[in-house]
């Protein structure tokens, strides 16, 4: 039973996240957080400064913006930015 409902659940989740990320209010938020992540990922100096601060705050993961699926990308991108605030 679970193996049959899991794909349906994941499909529903993808549909919901797709609607959230397509919502006009969310588009600028997603774009801005992607720019923040890209800035720190692309800058050796500021990326190093961020890594140093993360170590001091006991944060042991890196910032991410793109993955295999849109909903996972959105979740990781949001968590990346909020964990560093």
Q: What is the 3-state secondary structure (H, E, C) of the chain?
A: CHHHHHHHHHHHHHHHHHHHHHCCCHHHHHHHHHHHHHHHHHCHHHHHHHHHHHHHCCCCCCCCCCCCCHHHHHHHHHHHHHHCC
Q: Per-residue confidence of the chain (85 residues) as pLDDT tens digits?
A: 555 666 677 778 778 877 877 778 887 887 887 788 888 888 889 888 888 888 898 887 777 666 556 666 767 777 777 766 5
> Residue 77 falls within a domain, yes or no?
yes
What pLDDT, on a 0 to 100 scale, did the predictor assign at position 60? 79
**Residue 37's closest CA among 77, 82, 67, 85?**
77
Q: What is the extent of the structural domain holding 66? A: 61-85
Does residue 80 form part of some domain?
yes
Number of domains, the chain? 1
| Within-domain flag for 76 | yes
Does any domain span residue 83? yes
* pLDDT for the residue numbered 50: 84
């Amino acid at each position: 039973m679970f193996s049959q409902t899991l794909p349906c659940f994941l499909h529903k989740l993808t549909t919901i996240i797709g609607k959230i990320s397509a919502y006009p209010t969310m588009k600028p938020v997603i774009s801005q957080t992607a720019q923040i992540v890209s800035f720190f990922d692309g800058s050796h100096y500021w990326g190093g400064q961020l890594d140093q601060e993360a170590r001091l705050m006991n944060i042991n993961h890196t910032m991410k913006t793109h993955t295999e699926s849109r909903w996972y990308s959105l979740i990781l991108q949001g968590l990346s930015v909020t964990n560093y605030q």
